[in-house]
Amino acid sequence: MNRVLGDAENAHSSSVESCPSLRDVHSINPTQLVARIESYEGREKKGISDVRRTFCLFVTFDLLFITLLWIIELNVKGGIETTLEKEVLQYDYSSSYFDIFLLAVFRFKVLILAYAMCRLRHWWAIAFTTAVTSAFLLAKVIISQLFSQGAFGYVLPIISFILAWIETWFLDFKVLPQEAEEENRFLIAQDASERAALLHSGVLSDGQFYSPPESAAGSDEESEEKQDSEKPVV
């Protein structure tokens, strides 16, 4: 007898414990998931993420900063027109800074084309520009006579080298991982939204119970009396 009572209590407790799970199912709000998915889709429609836009701004800053330093170097050497003619028209690899400016233009064009216009999600473009920049600057510092031309012989190559590697670090450790994480969140939210929709549809279909309309009070007795009155009297 005690065993039967124990089994009954266990069954009752298990049925009570199952109630919160049903409440949890009902508490799932698919509208929040749909809103989150729409926000991710809105970002995709914008075409470029915030972190990628920051990267493109930094690439633009790289070009403008090198251009500014080059213009200052032209002024220091005795006037923009005279020095510009000497460095561009009479270009000399060992003494001109014009190639460092062209190197910044090269980085800007390749990176903006790859990561802003084509929206590339790979590191090969930044690896190519950084490798070309590093090799060219190392060769120029070793072969040329920049160090004999004052402070700009140190500043322009070093700044160009540092900016190229900062761009590489920023893309590899910030842009690509963050975009991959946002894409994973979008896929998880989409999957959760589909599962929540299926759960809600299943709960509603199981919970739709229809009971027949209640009969009026005394209707059974009236039908029995009617049947008794219709019976022939013997």
Q: Is residue 209 part of a domain?
A: no
Half-sphere exposure of 162 (CA within 13 A, CB side): 9
Using DSSP's 3-state secondary structure scheme, residue 184 falls into helix
Q: Are 87 and 74 in contact (CB under 8 A)?
A: yes
pLDDT at 177: 94
Residue 32 lies in a domain: no
Does 140 score more than 60 pLDDT?
A: yes
Residue 177 structural domain: 50-198
Region 166-189: what's the mean pLDDT?
A: 89
Q: Is the pLDDT of residue 24 over 50?
A: no
**Quick check: is 138 in a domain?**
yes
State yes or no: pLDDT of 166 exceeds 60. yes
In a domain, 166, yes or no: yes
Q: Is residue 12 part of a domain?
A: no
**For residue 234, what pLDDT is reported?**
44
CA distances in angstroms from 4 to 1, 7, 8, listed in the order given: 5, 5, 6
Cα 129 off chain centre by: 24
Q: Give how far Cα 198 sits from Cα of 21, 23, 128, 185, 216, Å.
A: 16, 16, 48, 20, 40
What pLDDT score does 25 carry?
A: 38
Give the number of other CB atoms < 10 A from CB of residue 179.
17
Smallest Cα–Cα separation from 161: which of 131, 127, 125?
131
Cα→Cα distances 20→13, 15, 31, 134, 193, Å: 12, 10, 21, 63, 21
Confidence category of residue 92, pLDDT binned at 50, 70, 90: confident
56 falls within a domain:
yes
Query: Is 143 part of any domain?
Result: yes
Q: Does the pLDDT value for residue 149 go beyond 50?
A: yes
| Distance from the first to the final alpha carbon of the chain | 57
Q: How many domains does the chain have?
A: 1
Return d(Cα 173, Cα 5) in angstroms, integer: 63
Residue with tokens 């914008």: 46
Does residue 14 lie in a domain region? Answer: no
